[in-house]
A and B are shown apart, each in its own frame.
Chain A
């Protein structure tokens, strides 16, 4: 198993922490992982993205040309990364704020109304976990038990009381993901 994922959106949407939780979940089931962020001024208010690779074998380059999965949370990221999904790969996006929707016919496309679902939950901060849930529904490369362990490792202990809320958000994301186009 080797899964090369790009998660991209605005700074503040929880892009980097979603990647971190996914990577930690991988470690919990003894996979090799890399988490390679964009860093510096572009993080502050601009676009943020992170490349996460999970693999059964040692990972050489943490930077890749093409992704198995793109998780896209704003228009700029959709424009930039849609062409970089591998043929037959997967794109998940939140249609909120998207004016030009994905057009490729050679990849599987799914949508997750995460802004809407987070509002229903009454917790805007659950946004990134709803998106993570959508991904895990489609590609269960890490089991839920390890995701919870990953959450525990990546969230500071003083916030551990929020873990059940995060689990709920992941569950909501799993239910809410919709198929848009299938190869």
Chain B
């Protein structure tokens, strides 16, 4: 039987990294995610798997160390919280432009600015719409339990290498600080340069061999043709991801007349809301996007004919709600409810809002 432990979401991000055969973690402490690096330092994976764990001098250094490691075809990652992630956005754009795989974790806190260390979902736009400059996307995974925090590190690396692009785990202080039961997986070996090349193709700068030309990794493309081709290739990749990699979960959606949409911590709250709504005979369902990019546009459109309306529930002033509105193209009403400052609405509070829209 697999080992079950009681751990914080942040702690199992670290364990997930070690167990999936991550090669290197580079980070800089910031509340509410400092337990990620603390746990790595306690676990000392450099003595067991050979994984490198390094506290860099800043977030900017961390993300550029990730860039360097990723160029060599290594499974490398970093984690931070909102202000730190903002510092990393230049590097993120370079990683996307150079088509490099990596995992970034953002344990979001309230902004703008230094804001608050309490949970927030105010970085949805930054994660999903860009953050850095240029026409790029990254895959964004939104875990809603400690188990998913653990599992998504490995999933993130698989997706990052399959599509050669950064993957972000977007979470918040609530999921990061909460302890839950987590089932651990067996240790996976770290992959050698040859194994990476065999599985994902030879693109990494691991040294020229007699049978091939040297590999170059760069995001610079001054030739208009080369640059346009690069961007079209990136866009084609993003369209493929929109076709193949959408992940979501539905609860009581089969006969739902009113739909809640929530991700991460808010999806946990909304699950209870939907359960109480159902207990009162109200036909309310929940859609939980697991990937925020790619967004479950088609699932929303599939459910649309049976719905009187949708409520987006977020710890922000309304960000994901825009993607829902784009999905429904104005055909049904889309309402929004959000709280800020680390105030997490209770399930009953959401139910009241839900009823005020649904039973008009």
> What is the CA–CA distance of A41 and B118 in the complex, to the nearest angstrom?
10
* CB <8 Å contact, A20 and B179: yes
* CB <8 Å contact, B178 and A62: yes
Q: Does A24 contact B (CB under 8 A)?
A: yes
Assuming A24-B6, A60-B268, is B180 touching A39 (CB within 8 A)? no
* CB <8 Å contact, B31 and A40: yes
* CB <8 Å contact, B174 and A36: yes
> What is the CA–CA distance of A35 and B273 in the complex, to the nearest angstrom?
20
Shortest Cβ gap from B143 to chain A (Å):
14
* CB <8 Å contact, A23 and B346: no
Assuming A33-B6, A40-B117, A154-B6, is B268 touching A61 (CB within 8 A)? yes
Contact with A along B242-276 (1 / 0, CB 8 A): 00000000000000000000000000110111010
Shortest Cβ gap from B220 to chain A (Å):
42
Q: Does A27 contact B (CB under 8 A)?
A: yes
* CB <8 Å contact, B6 and A39: no
> What is the CA–CA distance of A40 and B341 in the complex, to the nearest angstrom?
13
Total interface residues on A, CB under 8 Å, equals 21
Shortest Cβ gap from A167 to chain B (Å):
20
* CB <8 Å contact, B180 and A63: no
* CB <8 Å contact, A61 and B271: yes
Contact with B along A17-44 (1 / 0, CB 8 A): 0001001100100001111110111000
Assuming A27-B4, A63-B346, is B180 touching A35 (CB within 8 A)? yes
* CB <8 Å contact, A34 and B178: yes
* CB <8 Å contact, A23 and B6: yes
Shortest Cβ gap from B27 to chain A (Å):
19
Q: Does B133 contact A (CB under 8 A)?
A: no
Assuming A40-B32, A153-B6, A154-B6, is B180 touching A61 (CB within 8 A)? no
Most buried by B among A40, A41, A61, A62: A61
Within 8 A of A (CB), among B268-294: 268-269, 271-273, 275
Shortest Cβ gap from A130 to chain B (Å):
22
Q: Does B155 contact A (CB under 8 A)?
A: no
Tell which of B4, B118, B347 touches A40, judged by Cβ atoms closer than 8 Å.
B118
Most buried by B among A33, A37, A40, A153: A40
**Contacts from B to A (Cβ < 8 Å):** 4-6, 31-32, 117-118, 173-174, 177-181, 268-269, 271-273, 275, 344, 346-348
**Contacts from A to B (Cβ < 8 Å):** 20, 23-24, 27, 32-37, 39-41, 60-65, 153-154
